[in-house]
Amino acid sequence: MTIAAHTLGCKLNYAETSDTLRRLAADGHTIVGFDQPADLYIINTCTVTAVAEKKCRSAIRQAHRLNPEAQIVVMGCFAQVAADEIAKIPGVTQVLGNSNKRLLSYSSGDRTRTFFKIQDGCDYFCTYCAIPFARGRSHSATIEETLCMARRIAESGAKEVVLTGVNTGTFGQQQGESFLDLLRGLDQIEGILRYRISSIEPNLLTDDIIDFTAHSRAFLPHFHIPLQAGSDHVLQLMHRRYDTALYRSKLDRIKAVMPDACIAADIMAGFNGESEEEFCKVLDYVDSLPISYLHVFTYSDRPGTAALRLGEKIPVHTRREHTARLLELSEKKHKVFINSQLGKTRPVLWEHTDHNGQMEGWTDNYIRVCRPYDDTLANTVENVTLTTDSVLNVNE
């Protein structure tokens, strides 16, 4: 059977899709691109925004056009919360919620870098978010089970592992274990040269985790710390578990022990109750933080969430304007960060792909760089002095 897959949303979804395809390939099936005719199409969905749900419907229609006789399986978060709606779309043969996904999974398409799912679900129930309804309460495997899977990843030859999850910092809480203890165990696994934490809540990013990262063998000076709002009032409306003072203290701590660390932040534009005056304060607050770049999301109503009952709704055109201004600020912050690194020497893990005679890689602090292609350097780490010619000014 020929099988094609399309993934929407977070790195966690990409790890799950890749894991599914790897298992299907091991069973003898042929994996093809999503733009090709196939017997089975798998669409792994996201429900974070209305845009993500629109893209899901578009992907289903694309698959149905490519082969009207194909089976189309829709899985993931949107499938969990809107199964009946999706089942009615022409071509859909099966809808699978998140309970059908494996707890531990990892991506395998990139021979250099792997996304490793270590945790799923969330207990936080932020007022704007449907993910707890889609993925359930926080849960994870044990440390030993997770380390066992990490050893398999090391055997595959991947040198960099990105730890993914819905709320990674809650790893192990059901078993009386801790995320920090997992990090300590992972750091001892031979063969894996580098680890990144894809995202961790600021209230769960302890000083011990920061200090461990700064002095560990393999964990990199790169943090993704959701902010969501730069206003204490809006953070309270969102039911976030920190305030702007705590958030700033975490970034200051990181920069104190890792001055060259890259710090990314998620932020939402146009949440209910965020006035124009408050948004201007948000811009000033974010600008004052040692952030390297932003992931900006435009707020959209999620069915069943408490945010529908909160505050005054921000007009769509205003949300989009605020999004654009935050993106401009992100570009400014990223340029400042890149410029601060020029002339410094950083370790780069080179990738296999040949880009018209060039090869690309990432520094430990998440700067994209390039050099003339040399096959002997692929999947190895090289110290590189950063220059304007070698740096690719790209955010991901």
Can you give the pLDDT at residue 123?
Answer: 92
C-beta separation of 374 from 361 below 8 A:
no
CATH fold of 2-100 reads: Rossmann fold (3.40.50)
Q: With a cut of 80, say whether residue 102 has pLDDT above it.
A: no
Tokens 């730890």 found at? 163
CA 3, CA 18: separation in Å to the nearest integer? 12
Q: Do 2-100 and 105-341 come out as alike in CATH topology?
A: no
Q: Residue ranges of the domains in the chain?
A: 2-100, 105-341, 345-392
CA 85, CA 87: separation in Å to the nearest integer? 6
Between 92-101, 125-134, 268-277, 314-323, the lowest mean confidence (pLDDT) is in 92-101
CA 153, CA 19: separation in Å to the nearest integer? 12
CA 354, CA 349: separation in Å to the nearest integer? 14
pLDDT digits (tens, 9 = 90+) for 234-269: 999 999 999 999 999 999 999 999 999 999 999 999
CA 4, CA 374: separation in Å to the nearest integer? 32
Segment 217-235 mean pLDDT: 97
Per CATH, domain 105-341 is 3.80.30.20: yes
Can you give the pLDDT at residue 395?
Answer: 47
Distances (CA, A) of 18 to 23, 39, 114, 311: 9, 18, 10, 40
pLDDT digits (tens, 9 = 90+) for 50-90: 788 889 899 999 999 999 999 999 988 888 888 888 999 99
Q: Give me Rg for the CA atoms of the chain.
A: 21
Say whether pTM exceeds 0.75. Answer: yes
Q: Where are the alpha helices (DSSP H) in the chain?
A: 11-26, 50-66, 77-81, 83-87, 131-135, 143-156, 179-186, 207-215, 232-238, 244-257, 276-288, 316-341
How far is CA 177 from its chain centroid?
23
pLDDT digits (tens, 9 = 90+) for 162-183: 999 999 999 999 999 999 999 9
Q: Exposure of 145 by Cβ count < 10 A (0-12 exposed, 13-18 middle, 19+ buried)?
A: middle
Angle at 282 between CA 279 and CA 285, to 5 degrees: 160
Segment 283-295 mean pLDDT: 97
C-beta separation of 247 from 202 below 8 A:
yes
